[in-house]
Amino acid sequence: MRALPIAVTVLAAALALTSCDGGGSGSAGTSGKSGDTAGSAKKAAVAACVIGDTGIQVGPANAATAAGDTGNIPVTLTNKGAQCTLKGFPGLSVEGGGTSAAVAADKSAAPEQLTLAKGDTASFTITYVRGAEGDAKSLAVKTLKIALPGADTAQSFPWSYGPVTGKGSASSPNASTTPFQHAGD
């Protein structure tokens, strides 16, 4: 007979715990869930970042010094416009000697949606393998082009890190980029 009151007490305690607020910051008179839904809708309404409203700094790099070495080039974007979002990978291409080649996304990293207020920064890293000078399978890169997700426009930057080896040919560079991530504090 005593087991029934204990079971009812345990059930009541479990129900009380599941009805607690999840810690979200909803507005007065709403639960955390309603506030979270409103916050998600607000995030969805924020426009995508545009390259004309960002300041971009390429490097300083951990450049590959010899053929076969791997180099890393950090790129930092600073939002100079209204609040905006970034999700996914930057659109990158490298150009040299009349050849343009896309830089692949590093699919081992999962992109997150970032919301950037004015003055906020985000970054990504380009990893590449340096090619041999004059090698037909290396692209003598002179220019890096950067575009933001979903945009048709790109900004060009000088490439001073040497040729990039190809994966079989110069038109398929052995280079990749990480997704956007928050930078700074």
Token pair for residue 147? 């575009």
Parse the chain into domains and list their residue ranges.
Answer: 51-182
54-113 confidence digits (pLDDT tens): 999 999 999 999 999 999 999 999 999 999 999 999 999 999 989 999 999 998 988 999
What pLDDT sits at residue 150?
82
Please compute the mean of the pLDDT values over residues 161-171 and round it to a whole number: 93
What pLDDT sits at residue 26?
36
Give backbone dihedrals phi and psi of 127, rounded to 5 degrees, phi first: -115, 135
Indicate the pLDDT class of residue 164, thresholds 50, 70 and 90. Answer: very high
Instruction: Specify the CATH number for 51-182; select among 3.40.50, 3.30.70, 2.60.40, 1.10.3470.
Output: 2.60.40
Q: Report whether 113 contacts 161 (CB < 8 A).
A: no
Please compute the mean of the pLDDT values over residues 20-44 and round it to a whole number: 42
Instruction: Average the pLDDT over each of 14-23, 46-55, 118-127 and give the range with the smallest value.
Output: 14-23
1-29 confidence digits (pLDDT tens): 444 443 333 333 333 333 333 333 333 33
Q: Which helix (H) or strand (E) holds 62?
A: none
Indicate the pLDDT class of residue 168, thresholds 50, 70 and 90. Answer: confident
Report d(CA 1, CA 51) in Å as an integer. 72
**Would the pLDDT of 159 be above 80?**
yes
Instruction: Average the pLDDT over each of 14-23, 35-44, 46-55 and give the range with the smallest value.
Output: 14-23
Instruction: Average the pLDDT over each of 9-18, 109-118, 141-150 and give the range with the smallest value.
Output: 9-18
What pLDDT sits at residue 120?
96
Angle made by CA atoms 74, 112, 105, in degrees to the nearest 5: 55
Token pair for residue 69? 């070495």
